[in-house]
Structure 1
């Protein structure tokens, strides 16, 4: 029998209700992930050396007996979403099997103290000071110039970081954790840096990416260029130096300029300004170097639907800075308007592409 709501079948309406509830409670995904990191659960399992039973886990965490069931609910949900894996432990005869939890490749990336750890990225993204901004979508939409962070924090995001050392450190640690993933990607991207004598990593933070490049190409001179408060008091060596400044004013000259996950923070107008400064830096003294962009390229026609969903989700997320994730067509438009002649896109990571731009 048809419903009175636009002649929809009850089954259609019930499915729609379930979909609405899924989105309505989607914040539980990120909050349960945050909880697991706050409780140090990935490290507890890692240090245990094998799947850990619920009883052992709650014992280590010193969980009150009244909350053990809640821990199990959270772990079951995280396991359902692929963060952990549930293993059945065979117990003694006449006793029930007890659930045990093992790490997956996802939670391995949350083990603190390991080479590839993205826990700082999660902690930064889910910090209430930043994440609460998304409650201001409606107000932000009607603001002509303010970013979503600006609406919530009361100041420009970068000014906020300059004035709040705690959050500046948190943000830089998050970016550094992500940069370590580049070490894996460079195994297939050596060709991009071959033949270069110098490179400037614009917005390079504490130099994590630059150090990886320097280790791989010891003859390459690397300059990390970022806000003065980011690069002050950082240790240099023979082929790695730090320079403070403003990328909208000028960029140190080099054979190549690297922009890793920088341009997605900015509007098209600002990106063109940045790219023009990059072009000036790589075309001085008659040289014609290149700009290397590591960023997302949305390609709904060719990529997996789930991957596109993640990119579109991050496209909404980066609106907090009035930035955007871009399609190849949108990238090409920026490059042309900034005065570049050609570009080449290569795969980098699952989410990011490597774009070489030539003057």
Structure 2
């Protein structure tokens, strides 16, 4: 049976009479084209961040024309406005920038709620994380996902097959990648730590000593100590990581291996650590954390995603996307459901747990010995 498409049909722009079956087929084709080309959003926004387009507009405090933006590009001996115009067209389509006509007919580009998160000259930004996630060292392992599906990871992760080293080994071997990795962790630490401090309320009040396991160069812990200066804090990570850590008031940097032992404290804090590791690795880490805290009053504070594959919350799709990144980067690393977390705590001697939602991608997961 043939039907005439209504003007409200997604395929109504196509001329002629189309059956319901033909419309379904056409829409399915469009969906695959969309997924096939969605990577262009990533490389376009990466170029925008590298060129500091949002920062240029922000510096002037008003929408700018293309020529004004081009005039302010740094290290651009012969810029091509026509190429930038094509990128900006996509960015306007994706609502990264606004576009409005001026009195003289020029298109003026302004900031949106999204572009304010890719400013590089501001403290609260996702720009460093965006550059990390779109770096070739991060992206190229995805070409090997089919191999680990066929073979498993007994002969190495997709990251190892691509680079000959695992991800955390690579940070110690490639200074530029290490810098990008640390900057990405610092920027997300600021964002997540603000949400943790606001959402955890009095959670840190009774803590006198706190160890941030896998704390990088201390960005996350510094925010906590600034809000709770009574806490005596240790930033704990691999020796080559803490070697580049800046000094912070109230924080001691300690190098070590969380699979061997964890410094003792009232509480252990881990932000986006356990999702990098397999269940077997997480059991080792959590058992070491269990040994490091007192039986009475001790706790482990985990800031990690609680995956709900069937959910429709703000961060559901992003959590699933992160799970795909972990699939290519880590041996057994994954985003976990509440049932996964519950099982881990049972295996490592934690009697109870509590999940606290915050205004960020991860949640706070408290685990208690008794």
Cα shift at 1:184: 2.5
Asked if structure 2 preserves the Cα contact closer than 8 Å seen for 1:140 and 1:151, the reply is no
Structure 1 window deviating more from structure 2 (243-252 vs 124-133): it is: 124-133
**What's the counterpart of residue 336 of structure 2?**
326
Is 1:298 aligned to residue 311 of structure 2? no
Cα shift at 1:299: 2.5
| Aligned residue-pair number | 346
- Provide closer, same or farther for how the CA distance between residues 136 and 87 of structure 1 changes in structure 2, counting only shifts above 3 A: same
Structure 1 window deviating more from structure 2 (311-320 vs 183-192): it is: 183-192
Given the alignment, which residue of 94, 117, 141 partners 2:125? 117
Structure 1 window deviating more from structure 2 (345-354 vs 80-89): it is: 80-89
Gaps of 5+ in 2: 3-18
CA distance in 2, matches of 1:63, 1:20: 39
Cα shift at 1:78: 1.2
- Provide closer, same or farther for how the CA distance between residues 122 and 342 of structure 1 changes in structure 2, counting only shifts above 3 A: same
**What's the counterpart of residue 287 of structure 2?**
276
Cα shift at 1:287: 4.1
CA distance in 2, matches of 1:237, 1:32: 36
Let me know the Cα RMSD of the aligned residues. 2.0
Asked if structure 1 preserves the Cα contact closer than 8 Å seen for 2:302 and 2:365, the reply is yes
Is 1:210 aligned to residue 217 of structure 2? no
1:233-265 Cα offsets, whole Å, 9 max, x none, are: 644456210100000000000000001000110
CA distance in 1, matches of 2:78, 2:31: 35
Asked if structure 2 preserves the Cα contact closer than 8 Å seen for 1:272 and 1:334, the reply is yes
Cα shift at 1:152: 0.8
Gaps of 5+ in 1: 92-96
User: SS in structure 2 opposite 1:340?
Assistant: coil
User: SS in structure 1 opposite 2:318?
Assistant: helix
**What's the counterpart of residue 10 of structure 1?**
22
Given the alignment, which residue of 122, 134, 144 partners 2:153? 144
Asked if structure 2 preserves the Cα contact closer than 8 Å seen for 1:256 and 1:289, the reply is yes
1:203-258 Cα offsets, whole Å, 9 max, x none, are: 10111111111111111001000000011264445621010000000000000000
**What's the counterpart of residue 354 of structure 1?**
364
1:13-60 Cα offsets, whole Å, 9 max, x none, are: 111111111011111010001110111111111112101112322333
**What's the counterpart of residue 58 of structure 2?**
46
CA distance in 2, matches of 1:144, 1:324: 14
- Provide closer, same or farther for how the CA distance between residues 321 and 84 of structure 1 changes in structure 2, counting only shifts above 3 A: same
Given the alignment, which residue of 33, 55, 78 partners 2:45? 33
CA distance in 2, matches of 1:167, 1:311: 24
User: SS in structure 2 opposite 1:349?
Assistant: coil
CA distance in 1, matches of 2:126, 2:321: 18
Q: TM-score, normalised by structure 2?
A: 0.88
User: SS in structure 2 opposite 1:9?
Assistant: helix
**What's the counterpart of residue 176 of structure 2?**
166
Show the 5 A alignment for 1:337-352: 337-352=347-362
Structure 1 window deviating more from structure 2 (259-268 vs 306-315): it is: 306-315
CA distance in 1, matches of 2:24, 2:297: 60
1:266-297 Cα offsets, whole Å, 9 max, x none, are: 111111111111111113xx544000000111
Cα shift at 1:298: 1.6
Show the 5 A alignment for 1:174-213: 174-185=184-195, 186-213=197-224
CA distance in 1, matches of 2:228, 2:106: 51
CA distance in 1, matches of 2:71, 2:89: 18
Is 1:249 aligned to residue 260 of structure 2? yes
